[in-house]
C-alpha cells in the first residue's frame, strides 16, 4: 500500500471483536476497503464498471450503446467480438452471442426472475459451469436446447478440444449440467462442428451396435443384469466396451479392440494424456508392404491388422511401419521398448488353435494383415452375422 492508503488504514480501520470483520469508521464501509482511501473507494463504487472485468470504465470505447459498459482491455475486447450488440427492452444489454436470431432474456438478477423457467433459474451472477471462475454476465453466453447457459468462449474451447485421449469419447458433446447432448442454436458459430460430431457419434453407435452382434455379446451379463450401469442399455455398453479411434489420414473412425468398460469410465474422468494423432491410422490407410484386399461382403469396416509383438488386434500404427495393440503401445511409451525385442524375446504362438486370434500367422515380430474380422468370425464360429 502507498502512504495515503496506509494512513487511511491506520486512522479508519477497526476490527469487530465479535465477528472479526474489518470495518471503516471513516465512511462506514463493511468490510474495510483495503488498498483504497475512503475517497477513492467512493469514486470507484460510483463509477460505471466493465461488465466483463468489473474495473471502472472512464470513457466510451465502443460505438454501440450495448457496449458502452465494456472497457478497452485486450481480454474484454476479445470477448466483445462474440457479443450481441442488442439493447433489451428492459434497458440492459443482451448477454447473448453475436448473430443470434433469438435473444437471450436479460440475465440481470432483477430481470432474470421474470424468465427463471426459461433460464433454468440461472442469473448473470451464477458461475459458468464449465470454467467455474466467472459469472455468466462476464462474457457472451449461449443457451443450449436443454436450457442451460454457458460462456461462449468456454463452450467453444470444450468443443474444439474434443476428446483428451486416443480413444474417441463424446463427453465434450454433453451439457455439463444435465448430460443431454449439447444442442446449440443453428446460427451458433460452431453449430456445423457440433453437427459433424453428431454424425461421427451416430456412425460409431451404428458400428458399435453391429460389433456387439458380431462379438455375440448382446446377452452379456452387464446388459441383462438389473442394477448394472448398462442394464437394458446395449448401445451404451457397446460404446464403453469397444474402442474406436479416428484415422489420422482418412478422418474416419475405426475399431481398435475391446476395452474393459469400467476402466473406460475411469479413464474418461482423468486428465489429458499426450499422444501423437498421426500414429492412429486405420488398416485401409497404412502401407507396410502387406497386401490387404477389401472384403466383398463387408467392405473396409472390419479390415484388421495383428499387433506385431503379440497375438492381439492392432490399434496403433506408428512410424508408418509398425502396428501395436493398446497394451504393447503403452509398454513402448512407458520405456519398455518392445520394438527393440528380438523375435525370440516376444511371446510364442505355437498353433492356430492356441492363438487367441484363431488364425495362422507368421512369428510375432512381423507385420500381418488379419483381413476382414467379420468374415473370420463367421467362419470360425459358424454364426450368421
Residues annotated as catalytic are 261, 318
Question: How far is Cα 73 from Cα 290, in angstroms, rounded to an integer?
Answer: 59
What burial letters (b/e) apply to 142-174, b meaning 16+ CB within 10 Å? bbbeebbbbbbbbbbebbeebebbbbbbbebbe
β-bridge pairing 149-151 and 303-305: unpaired
Question: How far is Cα 362 from Cα 311, in angstroms, rounded to an integer?
Answer: 11
Question: How far is Cα 384 from Cα 45, in angstroms, rounded to an integer?
Answer: 76
The values of phi and psi at residue 56, to 5°, are -60, 140
Residue 365 corresponds to which cell in the numbers above? 515380430
Q: Is 11 helix (H, G, I), strand (E, B) or coil?
A: helix
In terms of Cα–Cα distance, which of 340, 330, 355 is closest to 166? 330
- Can the peptide bond before residue 157 be classed as cis, meaning omega within 30 degrees of 0? no
Task: Give me the sign of the Cα torsion angle 92, 82, 198, 327.
Answer: negative
Which residues of the chain form beta strands (DSSP E)? 13-15, 22-24, 141-143, 149-151, 242-246, 253-258, 303-305, 316-318, 322-324, 369-372
Q: Is 337 helix (H, G, I), strand (E, B) or coil?
A: coil
Name residue 255's beta-bridge partners.
Answer: 244
Long-range contacts of 62-70 (CB under 8 A, 24+ apart): 65/93, 66/93, 66/94, 67/93, 69/93
Question: How far is Cα 50 from Cα 382, in angstroms, rounded to an integer?
Answer: 71
Amino acid at each position: 500500500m502507498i502512504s495515503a492508503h496506509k494512513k487511511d488504514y491506520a486512522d479508519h480501520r477497526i476490527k469487530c471483536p465479535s465477528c472479526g470483520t474489518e470495518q471503516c469508521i471513516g465512511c462506514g464501509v463493511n468490510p474495510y476497503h483495503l488498498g483504497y482511501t475512503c475517497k477513492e473507494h467512493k469514486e470507484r463504487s460510483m463509477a460505471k464498471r466493465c461488465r466483463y472485468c468489473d474495473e471502472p470504465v472512464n470513457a466510451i470505447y465502443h460505438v454501440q450503446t450495448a457496449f458502452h459498459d465494456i472497457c478497452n482491455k485486450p481480454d474484454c475486447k476479445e470477448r466483445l467480438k462474440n457479443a450481441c450488440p442488442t439493447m433489451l427492452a428492459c434497458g440492459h444489454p443482451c448477454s447473448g452471442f453475436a448473430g443470434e436470431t433469438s435473444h437471450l432474456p436479460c440475465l440481470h438478477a432483477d430481470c432474470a426472475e421474470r424468465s427463471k423457467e426459461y433460464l433454468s433459474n440461472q442469473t448473470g451472477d451464477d458461475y459458468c459451469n464449465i470454467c467455474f471462475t466467472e459469472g455468466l454476465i462476464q462474457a457472451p453466453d449461449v443457451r443450449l436446447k436443454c436450457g442451460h447457459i454457458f460462456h461462449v468462449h468456454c463452450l467453444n474451447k470444450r468443443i474444439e478440444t474434443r476428446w483428451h485421449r486416443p480413444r474417441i469419447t463424446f463427453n465434450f458433446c454433453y451439457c455439463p449440467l444435465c448430460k443431454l447432448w449439447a444442442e446449440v442454436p443453428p446460427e451458433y458459430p460452431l453449430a456445423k462442428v457440433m453437427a459433424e460430431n453428431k454424425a461421427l457419434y451416430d456412425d460409431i453407435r451404428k458400428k458399435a451396435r453391429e460389433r456387439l452382434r458380431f462379438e455375440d455379446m448382446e446377452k452379456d451379463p452387464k446388459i441383462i443384469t438389473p442394477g448394472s450401469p448398462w442394464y437394458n442399455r446395449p448401445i451404451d455398453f457397446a460404446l464403453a466396451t469397444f474402442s474406436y479411434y479416428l484415422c489420422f489420414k482418412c478422418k474416419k473412425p475405426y475399431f481398435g479392440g475391446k476395452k474393459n468398460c469400467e476402466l473406460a469410465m475411469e479413464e474418461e474422468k482423468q486428465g489429458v494424456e499426450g499422444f501423437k494423432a498421426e500414429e492412429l491410422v486405420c488398416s485401409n490407410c497404412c502401407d507396410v508392404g502387406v497386401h490387404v484386399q477389401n472384403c466383398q461382403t463387408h467392405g473396409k469396416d472390419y479390415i484388421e491388422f495383428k499387433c506385431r509383438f503379440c497375438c492381439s488386434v492392432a490399434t496403433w500404427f506408428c512410424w508408418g511401419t509398425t502396428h501395436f495393440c493398446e497394451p504393447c503401445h503403452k509398454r513402448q511409451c512407458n520405456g519398455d521398448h518392445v520394438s527393440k525385442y528380438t523375435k525370440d524375446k516376444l511371446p510364442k504362438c505355437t498353433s492356430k488353435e492356441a492363438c487367441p486370434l484363431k488364425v495362422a500367422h507368421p512369428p510375432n515380430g512381423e507385420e500381418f494383415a488379419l483381413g476382414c474380422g467379420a468374415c473370420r468370425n463367421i467362419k470360425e464360429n459358424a454364426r450368421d452375422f
